[in-house]
Each structure stands twice: as structure tokens, then as C-alpha cells.
Structure 1
């Protein structure tokens, strides 16, 4: 197996576009982390085309997955927190090749988890939390309890991830194992939701009450990134917000987050008359502008 892996990565390490190569072995990680493969070879490249190349190999009864990823795409995943396995791969993988210590520096940055990166990650998790909470509560009010339950489970996952990021930790694949030790109250909420003998509507009712408290406690922190960006000018149309480079990662959750912040008094609405009679354009502005 070692010779096979060496053959695969040495060919790519000779390319000037290759930044680094990591080996992740399932014997040392959860099998879910490697998608049931025995090993994963992660190659980071400055080649933009393709952004992600995946190959699967078999060798002497073992399975190996090769991922070649564009460096900027990898950083986008890390910033958005959209691929949790990548954190495990980078933090626990074995470095096979590292041009100019670039890979080592990337891993060091992950370990340091700078505050400006945490601020964005917290904002993204908070927006997802708000979206799931709002959708779940609406479904609960309409007595669609099983659908509401699904959204609430997801909202708790986002709350758990947010609380870990807040403390300077990257959420891992086994996020609830982390939360159990670092945020026992949130773990208790999750445990009671899934294991309680109460009727599902009663469980949801209690959960929504508890969630209101956690949302209130984290709104300042969760909204700090978007408020900081919106404070840079007097007012924003929704199109300007969607197109703003620093806010693009919020994606489909941005509208629900904005309305939540308006409702809670963090943002104000400015109405400007349009060409149509009694029709107004709606703009968002911060309290501190």
C-alpha cells in the first residue's frame, strides 16, 4: 500500500501547481470521515480547473480515494464550514509533501482559529440557526409536528456548532461528543428532545422556550459580522447585500437573518418612494450608522 500511495502522490508532487499532499487513514479516524474508504489522499493545488477532482482506486483488497482540490476552493470550504470532514483531514492527516511549508501554515492557521474567521463562521452558523428555528416554529404552529421536529434537530446542531466556534474550537464530525464536555446545557436540550417520553408537541414546546433564551443570549455575537459589514454605508438594498463579497457565504439564509435582526431592533428599514403609486423600495440600515 505504501508503494502504491507513493506512486500516486510523487507524480503530482512533481507538478509546480501542487501545494501539498496529505494522507488520511481510516484506522486512525472514524470510517465516516473517509467515506468508508481505507485511505484518502488529499492533494491541494493552485490549478483552478477542475476545482475538485475525485478518483477511486483499489489495491490489494483496500480502497483509496484521491481528492485534488483547488486551493481557493478549499479555503472557501474552511471559511463556510460546509465540509466538516476537511477539518479532520487537515488536522489529523499525515503530511506527505509540503511546498514552502504552505500546508503546515494552513494547519497552523486552523489551530489558531483567528478571531476574524471565527466571527464570520459564527455569523454563518447563527444565520442557519435562525432559518431552521423560524421554519420549525412556523411548522409547529401549523401542527406539522414531525416536520417541525426535523427543523429543530437541525437548529440544535447549528447552535452546538456555534457554541463550539465561540469557544475557539472547530466543530468535528462527532460534534455532540465535543458539546457534551464543553456545553453540557445544550447537550442536555438535545438529549431531552430525542429521548424524552413526552408527546412530540410537548417536547417541541419546551425546546422552543429554551431556544428563545439561547438565541437572545447569542444575537449580539451572531450578528456582529453582518452588522459590521452593513455599517460601512448608510443603507443597502437586498440586491446589494446579496452581491456583497463578504456576505455571499450567507447564501439563502440572508433574508431570514435580516428580518430577524429588524424584528429584534438591530437593523432599521428605510422606505424610498418608487415610480409606482404607494409602492416603496425597502432598504436596510444599521443602528450605528
Structure 2
């Protein structure tokens, strides 16, 4: 297969803009690693007009997909976990071209998973977890049980991913298989939610109680990255937090996360005077107890 695809990637390998070229071949008929294709050709470039450019090819009775992605897009996927296939592709791929060992170093970094990178990813998963948990609980209290169920499933998924990252691993597509070995308590919660014979209301009620403890026990490590960044200043306006480059990935989950951390006494409110009588800017700072 490599020989068949060589004319497609050979020209790009000679371009200085190309950092690495990888080949992922389908090993099993039922495998979804290659998105139903027989092969994935992954090209990483320094920069391009489009962050992701894809072409599909046919040869004999087989098919292949070529993805050209920028280094910036790759790093975003790795940080946010927004394209989980990328971890499988990098792990299972054969390196066809590697400029200055860029791909080899990237694979090594992913295997070692440096602690700073883990802290950021744990923070992002924790923010998503809190958003789903808080919204799900509100729906439950309003007796919207089916919608609450959907949010709880997502919150458990983020809790599972958080536990996996905490253990120094990258979450794979088979998250529940991973978490079954690492954190069986979270796995049991998920099983109880989806297969229990109790009413949906009873299942959700028990799960919110159990989840509260598991979330509380991970609050310090899940908020560690955010607390570190907010410790750099005396206090922050919300607009300053949202425009801070290191905190931008938290996006729409930030507001709910801040309120949760205030409730847990990790953050405090600072009221700063405005020109309006009795109206204050609502600012945020790390709790004085932590400093």
C-alpha cells in the first residue's frame, strides 16, 4: 500500500513546509481507526491556507484518505481532545517522512505526557464536567428526567476522561474500557445508570449523590491549572479571564466553573467600584486561604 501511495506524498516530502508524513493502515475489518478507509495518509505541515485539507482516493477495490493538517491544528486537537482519532493515528502509524525527528519527538512527548500538559487537559475536562453536572442537576430538579439523563451521561464521560488523564494516560475512543481498569468506581456508576432496573428518577438521584463525592475529591487537581493562572494577578474581570490566551480553551464553560469554585471557597468575589452609584464590577481572585 505504501508503494501505491508513494507518488501522492513523495513530492510533499521534499517541501520545507512539510514536518512529517505518516501512514495508518486498516488492520481489522471491523476497526474504525481509519474511518472505514483502508489507509490514512497524514501529512503535518508548518502552515497552510486551510488548517485541514482532505482528499479521498480509490485504487483497485480499496480507498484511502489523505489529511494535510497544520502544526497549529494538530496541537489544538491534542490539547482540547476535540479529535480523538488523532491519538490513535499517531500511535498506530508508520512514519514515512520525518523532518528533524519532529514526529518521533511528538510521539515521545505523547507517551511521556508532561505534567503541565496534563494539568491543562485536566482543567478543560473538569470545566466540561462541571458544566454538564450543574446543567443536569438543574434539569433533574425541574423533573426533566430524560434531558437530565443525557447530561449525566456526558458528565460521567468527562469524569472518566479526567481520571484517565490524572493517571498519566491519554483518553482513547474506548474510554470505558480504560476506566474500568483505572477507576472501577466510576465505571460502576456508569453501568448502574444505564442498566439498573430502578426508575430513571431513582437512578439519577443516586448518581447525583455519588457523583458529588467523586467530583469534590477531584476539585483541587481539576482546578489547579486555572488557579495557577489566576494567581498571577490580584483580581480579574471576567473579560480579562476570557481574553487570557492560556484560558481561552475553557470557552463557554468558564462562567459555570468560576461559580462552582466560588461555592467551594477556592475563588472569591472582589467588587470594584464603577462610575454608577452602588454598581460594581464583579471581579474574581484566588481565595486568600490558598495564598
- Comparing 71-80 with 138-147, which one deviates more in the overlay? 71-80
Matched position secondary structure for 2:49? coil
Once the two structures are superposed, residues 155-180 of structure 1 have per-residue CA deviations (whole angstroms, 9 ceiling, x without a partner) of: 01100000000000000011111111
Q: Which runs of 4+ in 1 moved over 6 A?
A: none
The one-character-per-residue Cα deviations of 1:95-150 (angstroms, maximum 9, x if unpaired) are: 11111111000000000000000000000000000000001000000011000000
User: Hey, what does 1:197 align to over in structure 2?
Assistant: 197
- Structure 1 partner of 2:148: 148
TM-score (norm 2): 0.96
Structure 2 partner of 1:252:
252
Once the two structures are superposed, the pairs formed by residues 67-86 of structure 1 within 5 Å of their partners are 67-86=67-86
Between stretches 239-248 and 70-79, larger displacement belongs to 70-79
Q: How many angstroms apart in 1 are the aligned matches of 2:102 and 2:20? A: 7
Q: Is the 8 A contact 1:33 1:173 kept in 2?
A: no
- Does the Cα contact within 8 Å between 1:31 and 1:37 map onto a contact in 2? no
> Where does structure 1 lack aligned partners over 5 or more consecutive residues?
none
Give the aligned partner of residue 139 of structure 2: 139
TM alignment of 1:84-103, pairs within 5 A: 84-103=84-103
Task: Give the conservation status (yes or no) of the 8 Å contact 1:196–1:203.
Answer: yes
**SS across alignment from 1:47:** coil
Separation of aligned partners in 1, 2:117 and 2:32: 26
How do residues 25-36 of structure 1 correspond to structure 2 at under 5 angstroms?
Answer: 25-27=25-27, 31-36=31-36
TM-score by length of 1: 0.97
Q: 2:106 is matched with which residue?
A: 106
Pairing of 1:1-289 with structure 2 (within 5 A): 1-27=1-27, 31-287=31-287, 288-289=290-291
> Residue deviations 1:31-85, cap 9 Å, x none?
3322221111110001232111111111111111111000121012111121111
Distance in 2 separating the partners of 1:41 and 1:239: 41
| Cα 1:79–1:30 shift into 2, 3 Å | farther
Report deviation, 1:23. 0.8
Structure 1 residues 29 and 278, CA gap change in structure 2 (3 angstroms): farther
The count of aligned residue pairs is 289
Residue 28 of structure 1 deviates from its aligned partner by 5.4
Partner-residue secondary structure (3-state), 2:285: strand
Return the alpha-carbon distance in structure 1 between the equivalents of residues 249 and 28 of structure 2.
32
Aligned residue for 1:281, secondary structure, equals strand
Partner SS, residue 236 of structure 2:
coil
